[in-house]
């Protein structure tokens, strides 16, 4: 009898263990509903995040330069993906403009990158901005590839602004600071452009940056006042010939001729 009671107790305990408590959270809970770990944009998003975290410069400003290169390369990769997914005409224009503009800015950033020992402390300044951008991008999605691309690029541009704010607050000076400010302004313009497209407005072209004063052609000087043209001399008029003296009359007497009478 005691043996049977013990067996029944063990069976009851096993049954309770199999059912589990309703208050215990499941260990293998599904990821957040908005989190997209698959899909056509997942690979370039993950590659961009890894490249940005691995990019470390000699100081905060140089780290911004190197991380922003990886940031722009990620935008180009995502734009190439969406161009292969039959996007809307406006999104196709935006994706191509992103490839062109970000590619040009990458070259400008590479010219500013410095060589030297990496400073890990400068990279840690950007951890919060990178994590927020990556999470927001991975959670962004839409009803189709075009909407998804816009949502992800919106988070992407906001991340660049946050990174730029970090750099500006941590000693960036000179040409790098000027580039940070220019990039930040461009990303803010991109944010406004994407938000307008999400409202159904057409894609507007990116405004052309003003030509730097150092490369601008000097203003043309006003032409000096011209001296009034001197009248060209005309052909010389023939001088009137004096009237020939009257010939002496053959009948004039010499004494009259001397007096001028003939």
Looking at domain 42-198, its CATH architecture is Up-down Bundle (1.20)
Q: Which DSSP symbol is given to 241?
A: P
8 A C-beta contact, residue 111 and residue 144: no
Q: Please give the pLDDT value at position 259.
A: 58
Q: Please give the pLDDT value at position 204.
A: 80
Q: Please give the pLDDT value at position 252.
A: 56
Give the tens place of pLDDT for each residue, 69-110: 999 999 999 999 999 999 999 999 999 999 999 999 999 999
Q: Please give the pLDDT value at position 235.
A: 55
The residue among 70, 242, 224 whose CA lies nearest residue 160 is: 70
Largest Cα–Cα distance of the chain, in whole Å? 199
Domain ranges of the chain: 42-198
Which parts of the chain have pLDDT scores under 70? 1-38, 206-262
Q: Please give the pLDDT value at position 198.
A: 96
Other C-beta atoms lying within 10 Å of the C-beta of residue 163: 25
CA separation, residue 50 to residues 47, 75, 148, 253 (Å): 5, 14, 21, 136
Q: Please give the pLDDT value at position 203.
A: 85
Other C-beta atoms lying within 10 Å of the C-beta of residue 215: 6
């Amino acid at each position: 009898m005691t043996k049977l009671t013990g067996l029944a107790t063990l069976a009851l305990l096993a049954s309770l263990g199999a059912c589990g408590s309703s208050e215990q959270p499941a260990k293998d809970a599904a990821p957040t509903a908005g989190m997209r770990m698959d899909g056509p944009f997942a690979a370039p998003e993950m590659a961009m995040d890894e490249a940005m975290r691995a990019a470390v410069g000699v100081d905060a400003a140089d780290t911004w330069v190197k991380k922003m290169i990886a940031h722009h390369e990620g935008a180009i990769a995502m734009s190439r993906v969406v161009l292969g997914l039959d996007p809307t005409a406006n999104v196709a224009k935006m994706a191509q403009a992103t490839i062109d503009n970000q590619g040009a800015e990458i070259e400008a950033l590479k010219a500013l990158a410095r060589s030297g020992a990496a400073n890990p402390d400068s990279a840690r300044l950007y951890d919060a901005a990178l994590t927020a951008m990556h999470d927001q991008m991975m959670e962004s999605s839409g009803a189709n590839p075009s909407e998804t691309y816009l949502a992800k690029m919106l988070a992407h541009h906001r991340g660049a602004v946050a990174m730029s704010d970090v750099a500006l607050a941590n000693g960036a000076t000179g040409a790098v600071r000027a580039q940070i400010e220019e990039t930040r302004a461009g990303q803010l313009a991109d944010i406004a452009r994407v938000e307008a497209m999400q409202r159904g407005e057409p894609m507007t072209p990116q405004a052309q940056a003003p030509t730097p004063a150092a490369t601008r052609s000097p203003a043309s000087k006003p032409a000096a006042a011209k001296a009034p043209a001197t009248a060209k001399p005309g052909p010389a008029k023939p001088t009137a010939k004096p009237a020939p003296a009257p010939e002496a009359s053959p009948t004039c007497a010499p004494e009259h001729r001397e007096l001028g009478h003939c």
